[in-house]
Amino acid sequence: MPRILIPGALRHYADRRAEVELPGATVGELLEQLIAQYPELRRHLLTSEGKLRSFVNIYVNDEDIRYLQREATPVGAEDRVSIVPSVAGGAGLGEATATLSQEEILRYSRQLIMPEVALEGQLKLKQARVLVVGAGGLGSPLALYLAAAGVGRIGLVDYDVVDLTNLHRQILYSTPDVGRKKLDAAVERIQALNPDIRVERYDAALTSENALEILRDYDIVADGTDNFPTRYLVNDACVLLGKPNVYGSIFRFEGQATVLAAPGGPCYRCLYPEPPPPGLVPSCAEGGVLGVLPGLIGVIQATETIKLILGVGQPLVGRLLVYDALQMRLRELKLRRDPQCPVCGDHPTIRELVDYHEFCGQRPQPEELPPSQWDVEPRRAKDMLDSGDRCVLLDVREPHEYRICRLPGARLIPLSELPRRLHELDSSEEIIVYCRNGQRSLAAVSFLREVGFRKAWNLRGGIVSWSEQVDPSLPRY
């Protein structure tokens, strides 16, 4: 029977299975069988009208069904059907006119003796200008290896500070950097690695107002962002300016990499015409990520960037590399430029940058979520629990999070299981719902209130705020 490969982002809704064998003669029949077996996948794969969502791509072996017969594409017993949801040649650098010092010749000697690089290639690297958007998990190995290779000018865009939770994957930083501006620590580390290169810093969020001005002075843009509005912004700016976009994304144990917006190649909108609805695809902060995964994908991005600068090899233009760390499997899927793409198509309709938060159906998140009418502060929640009244603590995180830390007496019902486990709750009781930081629990409270639980309350700030305000001995993660 045909096999359907389930991406990591959706395995939670399919009993954590990586692949499923199901009967079916077409892609549509296979999807029907899959959803019948795992109903919670429906909202992630199909619209309310039953159509395949535009931010979910389906491949039969390595062919995109959009360029075959879509859901009517036939499948055989030996075929692999991949579900790929969105999770976010030469570069024309001109003639090499720089020179290398004796110290640089020694530093890059192991590259210089390669005929694919040689003196001419090393001079191209020295003249190259690469902008790295995001100095986090992907940007860390990317920037370090570009600097080590001798890329002469590296721009870094980031406005965050180093947090302790960054250190398991963001190798630009070390423990003493916690609390520092990322750009301060990153520039210091990069220039310690290679003082001969120039590092330019952009201590600001990339927006529709500043993106074209920032990107304009660079030959190649490497996208290391972690949110959909910025991914679409980087893509559109690269297309409008004619800059290659070396793209990478990560989630849990899986990563993707490709080169977008290259001449004649597809852009990000060709791959994902529309973003997923807000909240449907969890961030790494909510879903987690294996610490070494951004290292692997970031190194691939660095490799593709260097190949573009040198004009050697076959870049990942029109090819999406999908990496599964759990299976230690690399797959390559074909990408095609969409002639109808509104940005890079034959008749583009988007000729300037737009409001990408509006396009993605979201607004920029403030540092602290605004209070909801159902919020209860941690200290007030403790008073309610200590009062002796009928009050229940409901934890809507995942079981592995529950094992890290939990509030005493809490009942665990993961958010995804809540609709089918309502019978375990009593609507006459006060129910205080919590998660890690208050977002999933607010969604749970909203659902409970809709179905008649009028005494459901959201622990504002989640278990993190409880640890800060009520019980500092409780671990934070």
Phi/psi for 456 (5° steps) reads -90, 135
Angle between helices 293-310 and 118-127 (to 10 degrees): 110
Please give the full DSSP string across 138-180, using - where no structure is assigned.
THHHHHHHHHHHT-SEEEEE---B--GGGTTT-TT--GGGTTS
The amino acid that residue 366 corresponds to is P
Longest dimension (CA), the chain: 79
Q: Are 228 and 276 in contact (CB under 8 A)?
A: yes
CA dist 356 and 350 (Å) reads 12
Helix or strand holding residue 260 (H, E): strand 254-260
Catalytic residue, chosen from 284, 341, 344, 360, is 284
CA angle 232, 437, 376 (to 5 degrees): 125
Q: What are the tokens at 121?
A: 């290639």
Q: Which two tokens stand for residue 339?
A: 């002639």
Nearest 5°: phi and psi at 54?
A: -75, -15
- Contact criterion met (CB below 8 Å) for 85 and 7: yes
| DSSP-assigned states of every residue in 180-204 | SBHHHHHHHHHHHH-TTSEEEEE-S
Nearest to 144 by CA among 248, 257, 295, 317: 295
Distance set, CA 438 to CA 27, 132, 452, 472 (Å)? 38, 32, 21, 18
Q: Which residues of 109-137 are buried (b: 16+ CB within 10 A; e: fewer)?
A: eebbeeeebeeebbbbbbbbbbbbbbbbb
Residue 405 is a catalytic residue: no
| Spatial distance between the Cα atoms of 8 and 286, rounded to a whole number of angstroms | 14
Number of Cβ within 10 Å of residue 240's Cβ equals 20
Whether residue 284 lies in the annotated active site = yes
Within 13 A of 12's CA, how many CA atoms are on the CB side?
A: 18
Tell me the sheet residues that pair with 342. Answer: none
- Name the nearest CA neighbour of 237 among 88, 353, 345: 353
Question: Which of the residues are catalytic?
Answer: 284, 435
